[in-house]
Amino acid sequence: MTTQNTIDKADKLYQMGQCNTAVDLLLDAVRHYPEDTLAYYRLAEHLIDSRQFESALEILNGLPQKEPDFKKKELVGYCYVNLGNLNEADRFADQILSIDPDSASAMNLKGLTAYKKGKKNPPNSFSRSPSALIPISVNHTPTSAP
C-alpha cells in the first residue's frame, strides 16, 4: 500500500469516527515511510483535530528536516496556540511571514494569537489593506451602472 493510499484509508476511518484506528494506521505509515512527510502532516492534523496537541508536537518534531517547511511551522504554531504558548506561536508565524509575507495561514495564526492575548485590533504589521487585495487593470475604465 502506498503512503497516499494509507492516508486516504486513514481519512475515511477518521471521518467514520474510528479515530484511534486512523491514528494507528498513520503511525504505521510514518514508521514504514519515514522520509515521506505527508503521513506526518496528516497524523499531526488528526491529532490537532482531536485536541492532542502535545502528541501532534511530538510527531512534528520527528519530521525529517527540510527547509523551509511552512506546513510544519504552521502546524507547530497551531499546537502552541492551543497549548497557550502564544509567544512561541507568534514566533513560528513570524518565521513564515519573514519568508512569505503573504502567507494566509501565518496571518491567521497571528490573528489567533492576538485574539487570545485579548487584542481587539491586531497590529498592521500582518494585516493587509483591502485595496491591496483588489487587482487593478491598467486599461480599466469605470463604467456607470445601467
Does residue 136 sit within a domain? no
pLDDT of residue 135 exceeding 90, the answer is no
Q: What's the pLDDT at 34?
A: 87
Is pTM beyond 0.95 here?
no
Lowest mean pLDDT among 46-55, 70-79, 98-107, 126-135: 126-135
Does residue 19 sit within a domain? yes
Phi-psi region of 62 (alpha: psi -120 to 50; beta: other; left: phi over 0): alpha
Q: How confident is the model at residue 69 (pLDDT cuts 50, 70, 90)?
A: confident
Does residue 40 sit within a domain? yes
More confident of the two residues 98 and 136: 98
User: What is the distance between the alpha carbons of residues 139 and 85, in angstroms, rounded to a whole number?
Assistant: 49
Q: How many domains does the chain have?
A: 2
pLDDT, tens digit (0-9, with 9 covering 90-100), for 1-46 = 688 999 999 999 999 999 999 999 999 999 998 888 899 999 999 9
Residues 3, 51 share a domain: yes
Does residue 92 sit within a domain? yes
Does residue 89 sit within a domain? yes
Lowest mean pLDDT among 33-47, 61-75, 79-93: 61-75
Does residue 137 sit within a domain? no
Instruction: Provide DSSP, 64-107.
Output: PP-SS-HHHHHHHHHHHHHHT-HHHHHHHHHHHHHH-TT-HHHH
Residues 41, 16 share a domain: yes
Does residue 132 sit within a domain? no
Residues 45, 14 share a domain: yes
CA proximity to 42, closest of 70, 4, 69: 4
Does residue 107 sit within a domain? yes
Residue pair 109/92 in contact by the 8 Å Cβ criterion:
yes
What is the span of the domain harbouring residue 72?
67-117
Residues 71, 51 share a domain: no
Q: How many residues does the chain have?
A: 146
Residues 80, 44 share a domain: no
Residues 91, 48 share a domain: no
